[in-house]
């Protein structure tokens, strides 16, 4: 399922709608280049990073916010010139600036910082004698090793916690629809909390371990439901409702809080 924190459309700017426009042939304007596929547009003296990507299935130009990288993402059909796409991005600069300014500040995995775990804040405490692995004691995560290794140690711990929590729920939800637990893998995507392939392989964002348990439960239910209905039909939604009682709460939480999880680490 896609993240619900950074959608867009060519309607009045809002948190859920930004810019989408039928592409026309031609070009208007020039953008300054940045490294790789990133460019810059200037709005009222402020440089705004815009990552340009092409999508073979895209029929329109679209613009969204990448909360993890704090930049705009411009998606273009293959036949649209980049210059035209950048002109479109400039026309939405007010919306982009508002969305970027509303992002939560970036929080590193560092000694003395807090990180959400199942929806509650946990304090990261560097403690060299804690043992080979981080230890959670109450609301404090004791992290061993050198100070330089704290960030990676916290990330690795969160990933493994996510793997364990997801494995349990995948097995439970699969049993509810009389399926064997499907294989799954963990990634760190910018735009999806989970996905299900046509051959029944599941994929989840490890950052779900930072969300309330009800949210993780819902995302698992959503993807497991795709094992029976690989669409978003009424039948699919009925399966989801049978697999979890948390759908409404989780969807609302992801709408309002999901982007914040991408600002950690």
The reported pLDDT for the residue numbered 162 is: 98
User: For position 5, what pLDDT does the model report?
Assistant: 36
Distance from C-alpha of 221 to C-alpha of 214, rounded to nearest angstrom: 10
- CA dist 8 and 95 (Å) reads 10
Q: Looking at residue 130, what is its pLDDT?
A: 65
Q: What global pTM score does this model have?
A: 0.76
Helix (H, G, I), strand (E, B) or coil at 258: helix
Structure confidence by residue, pLDDT tens digits, 217-235: 999 999 999 999 999 999 9
Q: Is 73 helix (H, G, I), strand (E, B) or coil?
A: strand
Q: pLDDT band for 140, please (50, 70, 90 cuts).
A: very high
Q: Please check the confidence at residue 16 and state whether its pLDDT lies above 70.
A: no
Nearest alpha-carbon partner for 179 in 250, 246, 248, 239: 239
Query: By percentage, how much of the chain surpasses pLDDT 90?
Result: 77
Q: Across all residues in the chain, what is the average pLDDT?
A: 87
For residues 228-244, give the mean pLDDT.
96
Rounded distance, CA 182 to CA 180, Å?
Answer: 6
Q: Which tens digits make up the pLDDT trace of 60-94? A: 999 999 988 899 999 999 999 999 999 999 999 99
Task: Copy the structure tokens of residue 186.
Answer: 């963990």
The strand pair at 71-76 and 46-54 is best described as parallel
How far is the CA of 127 from the CAs of 113, 136, 140, 152, 219, in angstroms?
A: 14, 12, 11, 15, 34
pLDDT value at residue 37: 79
Query: What is the C-alpha to C-alpha distance for residues 49 and 206, in angstroms, rounded to an integer?
Result: 26
Q: In terms of C-beta density within 10 A (0-12 exposed, 13-18 middle, 19 or more buried), how is residue 156 classed?
A: middle
- Name residues whose C-beta falls within 8 Å of residue 199's C-beta, 6 or more positions apart in sequence: none
State residue 68's pLDDT score: 87
Q: What is the mean pLDDT of residues 49-56?
A: 93
Residue 9: the pLDDT is 32
Calpha distance 246→53 (Å, rounded): 35
Q: Is the pLDDT of residue 178 over 50?
A: yes
Q: Which domains, from first to last, does the chain contain?
A: 19-102 (no CATH), 114-261 (3.30.2010.10)
Instruction: Indicate the burial class of 56 (C-beta count within 10 angstroms; 0-12, 13-18, 19 or more).
Output: exposed
Q: Which band of pLDDT confidence, cut at 50, 70 and 90, is reported for residue 34?
A: very low
- pLDDT of 2: 67
pLDDT value of residue 23: 43
Position 18 scores a pLDDT of: 47
């Amino acid at each position: 399922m896609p993240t619900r924190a950074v959608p867009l459309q060519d309607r009045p700017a809002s948190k859920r709608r930004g810019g989408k426009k039928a592409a026309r042939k031609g070009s208007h304007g020039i953008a300054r280049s940045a490294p790789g596929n990133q460019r810059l547009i200037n709005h009222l003296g402020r440089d705004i990073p815009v990552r340009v990507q092409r999508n073979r299935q895209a029929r329109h130009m679209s613009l969204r916010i990448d909360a993890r990288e704090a930049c705009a993402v411009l998606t273009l059909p293959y036949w649209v010139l980049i210059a035209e796409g950048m002109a479109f991005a400039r026309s939405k600069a007010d919306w982009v600036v508002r969305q970027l300014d509303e992002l939560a500040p970036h929080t590193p995995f560092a000694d003395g910082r807090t990180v959400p775990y199942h929806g509650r804040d946990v304090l990261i405490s560097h403690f060299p004698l804690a043992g080979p692995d981080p230890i959670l004691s109450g609301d404090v995560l004791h992290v061993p090793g050198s100070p330089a290794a704290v960030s990676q140690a916290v990330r690795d711990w969160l990933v493994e916690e996510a793997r364990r929590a997801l494995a349990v729920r995948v097995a439970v939800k699969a049993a509810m629809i009389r399926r064997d637990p499907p294989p799954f893998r963990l990634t760190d995507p910018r735009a999806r909390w989970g996905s299900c392939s046509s051959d029944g392989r599941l994929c989840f964002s490890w950052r779900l371990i930072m969300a309330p348990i009800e949210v993780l439960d819902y995302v698992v239910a959503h993807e497991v439901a795709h094992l029976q209905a690989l669409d978003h039909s009424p039948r699919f939604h009925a399966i989801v409702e049978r697999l979890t009682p948390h759908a409404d709460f989780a969807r609302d939480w992801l709408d309002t809080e999901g982007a914040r999880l991408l600002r950690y680490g």
